[in-house]
Amino acid sequence: MSNELLSLQHKIQKLQETMTLDMTYLPATNTLVFNLITDMKANIRILADSARGDNTLLIDEINNLQTQTELKLTQIQNGCYTFENEVTQLRQENINLRDINRNQQELTNELGTKGGRFN
């Protein structure tokens, strides 16, 4: 039980360390991050398509920039999925520990009641 609790405390501490970014300057939004990323990819495609001309070197540069930007956005999106999965796992572990604590408390109470009868 104590090892599970220490493990959970360690995971929570690590999670808190990764969440120390100051986001107070960001505007409030109800838009999901995944929707924002998808919109950004579409906007990049539109911008790249509108900038392409007859210059082969310029076309290659724009294609490369578009590919690299979309790759980075995909990596961000994948990181969001990983973070979301870790948070879900931590929530489940928290629920499990709460159940273990409740069961332990019930056993302690039951033993206390039975111990009082034997005295």
Query: Is the CB of residue 15 less than 8 Å from the CB of residue 86?
Result: yes
Distance between CA 83 and CA 30 in Å, rounded?
19
Q: In the structure, what pLDDT confidence band is assigned to residue 37 with cuts at 50, 70 and 90?
A: confident
Q: 16 lies in a domain?
A: no
Question: Token digits for 59?
Answer: 């076309």
Q: 57 lies in a domain?
A: yes
Helices 56-118 and 2-18: crossing angle in degrees, nearest 10, is 150
Q: 2 lies in a domain?
A: no
Q: 22 lies in a domain?
A: no
Q: 102 lies in a domain?
A: yes
Query: Is the CB of residue 34 less than 8 Å from the CB of residue 77?
Result: yes
Q: 54 lies in a domain?
A: yes
pTM of the predicted model as reported, rounded to 2 decimal places: 0.44
Q: 7 lies in a domain?
A: no
Total number of domains in the chain: 1
Q: Each residue of 63-113: pLDDT tens digit?
A: 888 888 888 888 888 877 787 788 888 888 888 888 888 888 888 888 777
Q: 72 lies in a domain?
A: yes
Range(s) of the domain holding residue 109: 32-118
